[in-house]
Amino acid sequence: MAGHPWVRRGYSAALLALSPLVWRRVWKESLPGRSRAERLGRIVGSPEGAHSLWLHCASVGEVQAARPLIEALARRHPDHRLVITTMTATGAERAHAVAERLQGEAHTAEVSHHFVPLDFPGAARRFLDRLRPDLAIFFETELWPNLLAGCERRGIPVAVVNGRLSPRAFQGYRRLGRLMAEALSHVSWLGAKSEADAERFRALGMAAEKAEVTGSLKFDLDRDDKAFEVSERLRTGFGRRPVWVAGSTHEGEDEALLEAHARLRERYSEALLILVPRHPRRFEAAAELCRHEGMPLARRSRDEAVTCEMAVYLGDTMGELSALYGAGDAAFVGGSLVPIGGHNLLEPAAMGVPVLTGPELANFTDVAEALRERQALVDVDDAATLAEALTRLLGDAAERERLAAAGRAVVEANRGALARTLEGLERLL
């Protein structure tokens, strides 16, 4: 289907007109030694005749969620090169960490990373002409019209996996109805997280016969023995004091978390908060906020000792969130007290830690519902209710164990999305 190419031409013209603003936004998203020319599609691609699979993830959270798929593709297709692209530098760092994890294994594909080109027509053309993947895989809601159209022109099948559209995202995309219909006309297969997500994609123009519900890849988490080992070392170092974790936190949320921690310490004076901001650029601001609130802190990046005087342990490193979750007696998942839409509730659940969340969960409604069905999720509304819930949980070992067991059971019961996704991708290959 050609869709409405004239709509895409208008989109391209608007994008080019806004290019100074776009370029300014991505200028900061770089890594030492990496050319910003990658943003214009100028990459060192596959050698002539080499086969490759291309997987695009937006940022660090998507790379982490896609890790089971990345590992499965690398093991299933050792004769291909697996190329991961991201929009952000933190996503790039996480992709490199996943690649390093696979390097020690025999009979796996080479895994590399590039920054995704901006969706200018010329940049998309240069990138695809150089890479020439056998299959393009877009993760969740990454729909770039010129890249999608360029794939179809070159006979490259396109899959959207773990496809999700929150009600808010759907309303935004619906305002771009014809452009989205044109973009989706180039998608060969959609594996949606839920029937509600699949229905939203169909409402935007996705062909019904090309869409199926595969479930969420976030449930297909492998046991990470290294993370458990780090968790155990941390717990031993903390001693017998109560510990809770606040992971993937955002600006405007840390203040409420520190208020809850101050209330908690009125009951448990030795309580320790492991605070893990979502974005590295906020590490310094979070440290300064702790000091401003009179919370002595130790920083993981500096390997500072967590003495009994410390109230906060700042998790200012990358790729360690699971291990830090595992070191707590309870875990609050951020992005849920501010209108972000939440983050992965399953990460602490898979580590066997009781999970708490705020009300803003637009991006994880399916996961939250699965946890609530098993009474494996503690909902809070603000600093006061979070402090009350933590006070109750830290004084009730039996309830913590029940929540932990229920959370692990939810993860196990909902596995299977990876197998269904791989089956769909194999049909395209």
Task: Judge whether residue 1 has pLDDT over 50.
Answer: no
Residue 152 and residue 101 in one domain: yes
Q: Which of 174, 221, 276 is nearest to 415 (CA)?
A: 221
The dihedrals phi and psi of 123, each to the nearest 5 degrees, come to: -65, -45
pLDDT in tens, 308-348: 999 999 999 988 999 999 999 999 999 999 999 999 999 99
**Mean pLDDT computed over 237-248:** 97
Which pLDDT value is given to residue 22? 86
Residue 145 and residue 256 in one domain: no
pLDDT in tens, 78-104: 999 999 999 999 899 989 988 988 887
The residue count for the chain: 429
Residue 276 and residue 205 in one domain: no
Are the C-beta atoms of 126 and 39 separated by less than 8 Å?
no
Tell me if residue 83 falls in helix, strand or coil: strand
Residue 28 structure tokens: 């900061």
Residue 155 and residue 15 in one domain: yes
Residue 377 and residue 254 in one domain: yes
Domain that holds residue 201: 5-216+415-428
Residue 302 and residue 340 in one domain: yes
Query: CATH no. for residue 97?
Result: 3.40.50.11720
Q: Which of 23-27, 45-49, 189-193 holds the top average pLDDT? A: 189-193
Which pLDDT value is given to residue 140? 92
Is 140 among the residues known to form the active site?
Answer: no
Residue 338 and residue 197 in one domain: no
Residue 261 and residue 334 in one domain: yes
Residue 190 and residue 264 in one domain: no
Residue 383 and residue 350 in one domain: yes
Cα separation of 62 and 343, whole Å? 10
Residue 192 and residue 154 in one domain: yes
The pTM (predicted TM-score) of the whole model is 0.81
Residue 141 and residue 186 in one domain: yes
Based on the structure, what is the number of domains in the chain? Answer: 2
Task: Judge whether residue 2 has pLDDT over 60.
Answer: no
Task: Judge whether residue 8 has pLDDT over 50.
Answer: yes
245 vs 53, 313, 314, 322, CA distance in Å?
37, 9, 10, 11
Which pLDDT value is given to residue 48? 61
Query: CATH no. for residue 306?
Result: 3.40.50.2000
Active-site entry in 38, 62, 71, 140: 62
